[in-house]
Amino acid sequence: MKRVILGAVAAAVLLSQSATYTQAPRPVIATDITAAEIKAVLDAPSAISDRLITAVDMGTYNVGVGVLRRTPTKPGAPVSAINHEHITEVYYIISGTGTLLTGGTVTNPRPVAADSEIVKVVVGPSNTGTFATPAQRRKVGPGDVVIIPPGVYHGFDEVTTGIDYLAVRPDPDHKLPAGYVHPAVQAFRGTK
């Protein structure tokens, strides 16, 4: 599983670099995130399901890597939707299954509070609402990868036992806090 996750992360980073024309200094070493560190962040208590593991300054852009845990959804309940104004997300499903809704129309759209952890740390300026009519519905499960462009609403339905997924976030506008490392990873590394 570790190789697949790291492979997905590497592929997303390479794809994001191909469209970047850089003259700024680039990192000279790689950034590693172990499977144990991902698990530590997933298992850490949190008020939100979306947790940034780290954000790396790549010169002319940042790359964030987060991990998310969605709990089971209620059949027939309205499906929450969120979009991120500047951030592309590349999802790699680690475990669980569900139906991912993307695009379409959303009712009651509103911005996420600028002082929230979601905006300040995790994904930058975002908007929420409730899906009225999604443009796409697709079943996702372990090993699946989905790329969600900036501004596209997305949310999960038909999650029966929970779903964990990794999110790689190319950040051309430097909205993510470069150098950030999740406290659970800091604690994990301190005990090594």
Residue 85's nearest CA partner among 134, 130, 123 is 123
CATH number for the domain harbouring residue 178: 2.60.120.10
For residues 101 and 157, the answer to whether their CB atoms sit within 8 Å is yes
Q: What angle in degrees, to the nearest 10, is found between the helix axes of 183-190 and 35-43? A: 130
Q: Crossing angle of helices 2-18/35-43, nearest 10°?
A: 90
Number of domains in the chain: 1
pLDDT 10s digits, 77-126: 999 999 999 999 999 999 999 999 999 999 999 999 999 999 999 999 99
| Per-residue confidence (pLDDT) for residue 48, from 0 to 100 | 86
CB 171 within 8 Å of CB 86: yes
* Distance (Å) of CA 152 to CA 8, 103, 136, 146: 21, 5, 11, 12
Q: Residue 179 and residue 98: Cα distance in Å, rounded?
A: 32
Amino acid at 118: I
Q: For the chain (length 192 residues), average pLDDT per consecutive 10?
A: 52 47 70 94 90 94 96 95 97 97 97 96 97 97 98 97 96 94 91 53
Rounded CA separation 160/110 (Å): 28
Domain that holds residue 96: 2-190
Q: How far is CA 160 from CA 54, 73, 74, 120, 163, in A?
A: 29, 7, 8, 31, 8
